[in-house]
Chain A
Amino acid sequence: MTQLFEYAPAPESRSIVDIRPSYGLFVDGEFTDGTGAPLKTVNPATEEVLSEVATGSDEDVDRAVRAARRAYARVWGPMRPADRGKYLFRIARLLQERAREFAVLETLDNGKPIRESRDVDVPLAAAHFFYHAGWADKLEHAGLGPAPRPLGVAGQVIPWNFPLLMLAWKVAPALAAGNTVVLKPAETTPLTALLFAEVCRQADLPPGVVNIVPGAGATGRAVISHPDVDKVAFTGSTEVGRSIARAVAGTSKRLTLELGGKAANIVFDDAPVDQAVEGIVRGIFFNQGHVCCAGSRLLVQESVHDDVVAALQRRIGTLRVGDPMDKNTDLGAINSAEQLSRIRELTAFGETEGATCWQPEGELPGRGWWFKPTVFTDVSPAHRIARDEVFGPVLSVMTFRTPDEAVAKANNTTYGLSAGIWSEKGSRILSVTSKLRAGVVWANTFNEFDPTSPFGGYKQSGYGREGGRQGLAAYLEASH
């Protein structure tokens, strides 16, 4: 391996963000005490406790739902749609104004590289509010009839991998459609949601329209099972998604689920190798692989397998793993000790089941939770690393000979969230795209997101879409 020039450290300053020693719940426009056991949120890169955060008990959740119901009935529901839109525009602008603060806080709480929180998470979150703001007074054009109606109170439970962005994906369409929300951020990443609560206050958003109740699984269960919640939206694991679908069965609650994935990234022999390698790296190592649509199964046409794997290993050797606050860092910290142990457990299966494990040279930091970018070759479709979602920087490489075999292998999963194709041949791209059972297909690119582009899964990756005109259907009752 060629020796690279060393980079000087380029740390982002954390002084821009003022983390309070403790946070309450955000209910009815106020920060209030929670009666659940407080949780400590930790910087996964240093294991330093960042803050102590109140959590919501059943009673707190009930209080939040009642506040949301009041706001829905008295303020947000009756409000002129254009005014609802203006509040959302305000929020979008406030997120842009405070973007640096949000990016730093996200990286501290989540462990993702500052480059990603700065360039992806926060700008996209603002874009989601800006996009949906415009919908608020145009809902009659959304294809849901001449007078679609909001559903009422939405109970929303989001994951830790894109804390602020997932909040935006949930809150922006809900509010634009005229609903009010009770949102539970993830147990390990509550801080940007609580900073968002301050943004709601700065925007003068009426009290109760957005309520934020941190907590763990029990708080989430209280939110989704509250009888006065009309709509449940969840992003997270397929296992929890199933239990939520069971919990809302037999009720009139509407449900959308955005669950796990095991995406195939298919490289044909005519693909430009260097571009494909960049896409493979982005597909699996973006956000440490903590991405439900990560391209975790690389399917390479047999004739180019060795070239692609060699180029990939060379490229991975240049990735920088370490301090998430450093602007040169490519892979940050694993979000929690629990997630790290799951990644270790599944990768151990990879080796015992007979796949070949490769990791680049290099030292990992001594403190914090880390995992090297990892490539498994000699993987068979029956291996657990080819079937189970690792949710970490672990790539499984398999081969195929014909387009039909590529499609069959790509679809050989219970998931169906995303897929990638690399080829210079347009007709092949379109043909394979039409046969892939996945909700998002990236051709000659990977892991692109936009508020105008509906996102969501086929099969056991969930149902419902987020983003685009299609995403509004999750928060509206059609009027035809």
Chain B
Amino acid sequence: MSDRLTVRKTYKLYLGGAFPRSESGRTYEVRDAKGHFLANAAWASRKDARDAVVAARGAFATWSAATAYNRGQVLYRVAEVMEGRAAQFVEEVAAGEGISSSKARAEVDAAIDRWVWYAGWTDKLAAVLGSTNPVAGPYFGFSLPEPTGVVAVLAPQRSSLLGLVSVLAPVLAGGNTAVVVSSRDRPLPAITLGEVLATSDLPAGVVALLTGDAAEIGPWLAEHADVDAIDLAGAPAPLAMELERSAAGTVKRVLRAPAEEPDWTADPGLSRLRPFLETKSVWHPMGV
């Protein structure tokens, strides 16, 4: 063992491509599964959430207009950089979730593989979900999937990395931008993921990772007029119902959470891509 004193990391928010502290100046203690102090994380406020929405809306035009190939490459790059930081993820997941290093390693591996899987979806969605429409008239008609817009994601509370990746990657693969509220008690992998995103050619603002309490920030996101959809994965049942009701005021797309946090290793299919995609149908006359 070296007697060198380690340089600890300050865990801040990932917002607009930068790593600011919460504008509120608030932090909270993050402890491992045994109750030992790990770090002071930034405790995001509603103002942080609003700033994140502004950044996400600003980034939407660029990200949604990027070619599917380009989005796929950027997302694949995320997986590459995650691989390089695997040891740090393993340490954070093991400490936060109270599991062994080998189990944590399996979670991290699955998270990286999940990211690769979604990276490969970007340029298949139009073929799988789109169509040409054989309308009964002299028109050429086609339908294609397009991103819904800015998606608020309440990340799972238990699975701090695989769960987070499983809800975030599909939102991005479809061309949406995301404002994510991390697991409250296990936020550290989210910020390390932010460091990965910041170094993966993902345009600034496409993702915001806010550490803090979904119960505090969720209501502001659910009623925000510039948020188009909300994923309630990390909201407990009473909160989820309140947020869904609130989201109705602006006709947001709502992805409900199952009663129990699911097994994130299961094949998700299209179940997390479809809810954040719109279908646009286009008509044009045919004639000479």
* Partner-binding segment picked from A13-21, A74-82, A319-327, A454-462: A454-462
Interface residues on A, range: 35 or more
Instruction: Check if A249 sits within 8 Å of B134, measured CB to CB.
Output: no
For the complex, give the distance between the alpha carbons of A463 and B244 in Å: 14
In angstroms, Cα B285 to Cα A432, docked, is 17
**Quick one: which of A24-71 are within 8 Å of B by CB?**
none
Q: Which residue of A lies closest to B140 (CB)?
A: A443
Complex Cα distance, B225 from A460, in Å, reads: 10
B216 to chain A: closest CB distance in Å? 20
Q: Name A246's closest neighbour in chain B (CB-CB).
A: B248
Taking A440-B280, A458-B278, A480-B269 as contacts, is the C-beta distance between A450 and B133 under 8 angstroms?
yes
A448 to B284, CA, bound (A): 10
Please report the C-alpha to C-alpha distance between residue A433 and residue B281 in the assembled complex, in whole angstroms: 10
Report Cα–Cα, A453/B285, bound state, in Å. 14
Q: How many A-B residue pairs have CB under 8 A?
A: 119
Choose one: A249, A444, A465, A478; the contact of B284 (CB below 8 Å). A444
Please name the residue on chain B nearest to A470 by beta carbon: B279
Whether B284 lies near A445 (C-beta < 8 A) is yes
User: Which residues from chain B contact A434 at a C-beta distance below 8 Å?
Assistant: 65
Chain A residues near B245: list those with CB within 8 A: 246, 249-250
A441 & B129 in contact (Cβ 8 Å cutoff): no
Please indicate which of the listed interface residues B139, B225, B245, B279 has the most CB atoms of chain A within 10 Å of its own CB: B279
In the complex, are the beta carbons of B284 and A429 less than 8 A apart? yes
Contact B135 A245 (CB under 8 A): no
Stretch at the interface among B77-85, B102-110, B249-257: B249-257
The reply to whether A143 and B281 form a contact with Cβ atoms under 8 Å apart is no
**Set of chain B residues within 8 Å of A458, measured between Cβ atoms:** 148, 278, 280
Give chain A's interface secondary structure class.
mixed
| Residue pair A441, B269 in contact (C-beta under 8 Å) | no
Contact among B65, B251, B280 with A462 in the assembled complex (CB-CB below 8 Å): B251
Q: Does B69 contact A (CB under 8 A)?
A: no
User: B137 an interface residue at 8 Å Cβ cutoff?
Assistant: yes
- Chain A residues with CB below 8 A from B128, complex form: 143
B251–A459 touching, CB < 8 Å: yes
**Chain A 412-441 interface residues, beta-carbon cutoff 8 Å to B:** 414, 429, 433-434, 437-441
B131 and A470 contact, CB distance less than 8 A? yes
Q: Which of B225, B248, B271 has the most CB of A within 10 A?
A: B248
Indicate if A257 sits at the interface (CB-CB under 8 A): yes
CA distance in complex: A437, B60 (Å): 12
Interface status of B143 (Cβ within 8 A of chain A): yes
Nearest CB in chain A: distance from B265 CB, A: 15
Given A249-B247, A448-B283, 6 further pairs, Cβ under 8 A = A242-B248, A440-B282, A442-B283, A452-B135, A456-B279, A478-B270
- Which are the 6 A-B pairs with shortest beta-carbon distances? A250-B241, A245-B248, A480-B269, A249-B244, A450-B135, A249-B245
